[in-house]
Amino acid sequence: MEFWKAVAALARNRFVGPPLLALALVAGVVAFLAVPGGYRTDTSLVLATPTNGGVLSRDPNRPTGQANPLLQFSDALRTAASIVIQSVNTEESRARVGAPKDGPVDLVIDDGRSNPRVLDISGPYVYIAVEAPSEKTASEVLTATRQRVVDEVVDWQKELGAPPPTFLTVATIVPPSTPEPVTRARWQAAAGAGLLVLAGGLCVAYGLARRKARRVRQETPAEAATPETAEEFERAENAIPETAEKVATTSGDDGD
């Protein structure tokens, strides 16, 4: 409890609080400028069945015909979307679209759960979001990833032997957004640097104040330390807030 009282007293002192606050602001600005910014863009896709329902009948009189295997699953479109999302999320596939592992580009491909604008993720959605160092890179990676999704849908259907007229299609429900600046990381760095400087400065000031208070006590002649003065020193050492404030003021006067 005494520690926090001492810290509060130092923060209110005009020789400690304002200079530390100014230094913390400077550190925050420097950190904000030092952390590189980025750009973010996204788009939302949906898988849809063809007009023939995914079944190709050679004979109109036959109730059954050639069907698209991807549409034979329960909740087929959502299952197909999940397959495509997993295929595009491999390290090899991400590297091909310009977002290798541990690279500067952050690529998100999911069913829309990371998009706060999507209220229901039970549909066959494919959500793509890109955060890159430059506006151009963000747009290029998003375009390449969208094309990769379309290619994966086609490749899977070819591999399963689905008739081309029954192929699923990929529709864009939310067009690619214009890349917007992202400053979240820069603000976090600025806040962290400012708080670190402020907390560190107060701790250093507290340590110096306590050290000087002990030195003053040690320099007092032992023979002059009557029970009354000893009791006063004990109270002064325990009441660090008042001691810290006096020491800080004395230091300021010595500097003048």
**What is the phi/psi pair of residue 169, to 5°?**
-115, 155
Q: What domain range includes position 79?
A: 38-182
pLDDT tens profile 43-89: 999 888 886 666 666 555 555 556 777 776 657 888 889 999 999 99
Q: Are residues 169 and 201 in the same domain?
A: no
Which residue, of 182, 217, 242, is where some domain finishes? 182
Q: Are residues 57 and 80 in the same domain?
A: yes
Q: Are residues 74 and 173 in the same domain?
A: yes
Q: What is the pTM of this model?
A: 0.62
- Residue 122 sits in a domain whose CATH number is 3.30.70.1130
- Residue by residue, pLDDT tens for the chain (256 residues) are 566 777 777 777 777 778 888 888 888 888 877 777 788 899 999 888 886 666 666 555 555 556 777 776 657 888 889 999 999 999 999 999 999 988 889 999 999 888 877 777 778 999 999 999 899 999 999 999 999 999 999 998 898 888 888 888 899 988 998 888 877 777 888 888 888 888 888 888 777 777 777 777 776 654 444 444 445 445 544 545 555 555 455 555 554 5
Which residue, of 182, 209, 227, is where some domain finishes? 182
Q: Are residues 94 and 25 in the same domain?
A: no
Q: Are residues 135 and 63 in the same domain?
A: yes
